[in-house]
Homo-oligomer: A and B are copies of this chain.
Amino acid sequence: MPGGVAPPVFTLAEIVARLGGEVWGDVHTVIARAGSLQNATSGDIAFLANPRYRKYLRTTAASAVIVAPALSDELPPGLSAILTPGPYAYYARAATLLHPRRRMPPGIHATAVVESAFPESVYVGPGAHVATNVILGERVEIHANAVIGSGVRIGPDSVVHPNAVIYPECRIGARAIIHSGAVIGADGFGFAPDFTADGAGAWQKIPQIGRVTVGDDVEIGANTSIDRGALEDTVIGDGVKLDNQIQIGHNCVIGAHTVIAGCVGIAGSARIGHHSAIGGAGMILGHLTIAPHTEISPGTMVMKSLSREGEKYTAIYPLARHEAWRRNAAHLKHLDDLVRRVAILEKKISETNPED
């Protein structure tokens, strides 16, 4: 009963009626939950995208699986399926159908402080503060104790989770999900040195008068920070997915559909191409340009612009037991010497064996 108190339940026939694909087996199979092949129980629907795991088809307790048509031969008797060329994306949609986001009922909580007028479909939770001149789209949810600065605009169906903060004048698109602790639009890190030769003086703050503009369908993780631009805006493209604990400096431009894993730092004015992927704890220095479809490995620092599309880059120190690391790492500081010693040896050898 979708929309009621109990979570929705669907037959396979109902699922394919909504999402496409073809049922293999019993169209009346009832599905109540998303699950994994290994841990599913009756009522679950799981998926198989990587053929390496096909052995689990024989043992899964799921009521149905989502698989590519080519794998229908491997389905054991009694296991129903939905056949689709993209099982993983289909699974995401089916799971969303089965586990829809819990929406807050419209209305402004009595303890919220709201200084702008909104559509009736908007929810503002306890203790939230929405300042003046804010424009919220239909069905926007501002959860408890979140703070929305003056002049902010947020597109329809966006959700701002508890204790997130959006500084004044920032723009958020439709269907955004902004998790707790995210801070959007704090001042960029801009200071001019103003010291005399004898060290007197101080850093002069440069006003940060740009905004953050976030496209549609963006998710921003917990405790992630995106600074406002110094003069122009910091721009997050459509469909970008940001994990937790990310820092994005002022005037960065993140291309559409780029995914950035947790703990990444992107320094000011970097431009990341669309459809790129940055692994966890990757770092991008400032003012660099990264081509579209670039993949950066986790823990990798990018120190120069990367202009070729579709490449993968890595800079990871290889793990070792501590003692082995210590022995090997010590030589890194003398690598230049080692190279010179090898060059000398080569010269001597060629003198010894002149015919070479």
Contact = CB atoms under 8 A, between A and B. Distances in A.
A17 interface: no
A222 interface: yes
B147 A298 contact: no
A163 B191 contact: no
> Assembly of this chain: how many copies?
3
Contacts of A117: none
Interface residues of A, number: 132
Nearest to A127: B127
Contact of A303 (B145, B257, B304, B319): B319
Contacts of A262: 189, 225, 247, 249, 265, 267
Interface string A15-29: 000000000000000
A256 to B, nearest CB: 9
Interface in A261-319: 261-263, 265, 267, 275, 280-281, 283, 285, 295, 297-304, 311-319
A224 B245 CA distance: 8
A330 B109 CA distance: 59
Contacts of A336: 327-328, 331
A241 B191 contact: yes
Interface in A110-147: 111, 113, 125-127, 129, 143-145, 147
Contacts of A163: 145, 147, 163, 165, 183
B338 A88 contact: no
A259 B205 CA distance: 12
A186 interface: yes
- Most B CB contacts (10 A, CB to CB) among A280, A303, A336 go to A280
B322 A89 contact: no
A36 B231 contact: yes
Given A129-B145, A203-B239, A89 B311 contact: no
B318 A313 contact: no
A157 interface: no
Nearest to A245: B247
B349 A202 contact: no
Closest 5 A-B residue pairs measured CB to CB? A92-B204, A89-B194, A147-B162, A183-B222, A113-B126
